[in-house]
């Protein structure tokens, strides 16, 4: 009998956090063009670097949860 989504979910949840993250990235990569995925990863890395350096201060919790869209 083939594995079900529930079987896969149960097994995946037994993995370490890092292994689940790697699995999620690999699964996501199967759904997107490799060039798009590479450019999105570069953008995520750029934004993370801006936050870590303080160049982008990010949002306060109030700003994040606000209904105001800037």
Quick check: 40 and 47 in contact, CB under 8 A? no
Which of 2, 29, 24 shows the shortest CA–CA distance to 13?
A: 24
- Region of 58 on the Ramachandran plot (φ > 0 left; ψ -120 to 50 alpha; else beta): left
* CA distances in angstroms from 20 to 7, 23, 32, 40, listed in the order given: 15, 5, 19, 20
Residue 70 pLDDT exceeds 70: no
pLDDT digits (tens, 9 = 90+) for 14-27: 999 999 999 998 88
Binned at pLDDT 50, 70 and 90, residue 31 comes out as: confident
Residue 13: the pLDDT is 96
The pTM is what?
0.47
Q: Rounded to an integer, what distance in angstroms lies between the CA atom of residue 35 and that of residue 52?
A: 26
């Amino acid at each position: 009998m083939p594995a079900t989504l529930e079987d896969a979910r149960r097994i995946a949840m037994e993995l370490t956090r890092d292994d689940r993250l790697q699995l999620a990235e690999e699964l996501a990569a199967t759904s997107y063009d490799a060039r798009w995925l590479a450019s999105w990863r570069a953008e995520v890395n750029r934004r993370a670097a801006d936050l870590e350096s303080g160049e982008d201060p990010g949002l306060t919790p109030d700003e994040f949860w606000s209904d105001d869209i800037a």
